[in-house]
Amino acid sequence: MKILLLFSFTIILLQPLFAQDCYVFRVDTVECPEVLEKDCPDMKFLGKNVSIKMAQFYKVYTREIDLGPPAHISSMEIDKPDLYYSIKKLSKYYTKSLKKGLLDQHEAEKELNGILEKCIAIYSQETQPIENELKLAGNPEEILSVFNKITVE
């Protein structure tokens, strides 16, 4: 039992060493769901285009589940939570950077929009290695480096 525990702990510690340099996904078509402007999150610092793309991202990665009787309450289920929460962290990071004047508005919109497009495109693909890397990423810069490794063809 001790050997098994030691082996699994070693594998977890060595996981960053096995990270890939690049993730290439071949996607034939990307279906972006239609969203209404009223359904878009309020992102006044990041602009309308990012707000629409973020709403599309939310629509792809989440779904409502009706819990049924007796409560009749609906709940939200998140697919690929590591990707989902990493995008939420990046959104906050870009918003704070724009508020502080550390980033150019156009550059921030372009970067976040590109990341959101990648996430929507790879939704149906096997993304477990990326999710493992995102689990280990501690700050927005590390998350950005993981997303910069993704190439969609």
pLDDT at 69 over 60: yes
Q: What is the mean pLDDT of residues 61-87?
A: 86
Full 3-state SS string of the chain: CHHHHHHHHHHHHHHHHHCCCCEEECCCCCCCCCCCHHHCCCCCCCCHHHHHHHHHHHHHHEEEEECCCCCCCEEEEECCHHHHHHHHHHHHHHHHHHHHCCCCHHHHHHHHHHHHHHHHHCCCCCCHHHHHHHHHCCCHHHHHHHHHCEEEC
Per-residue pLDDT, 47: 85
Span of 18-22, 56-60, 142-146 with lowest mean pLDDT: 18-22
In this prediction, residues 101-107 reach a mean pLDDT of: 91
pLDDT for 12 equals 55
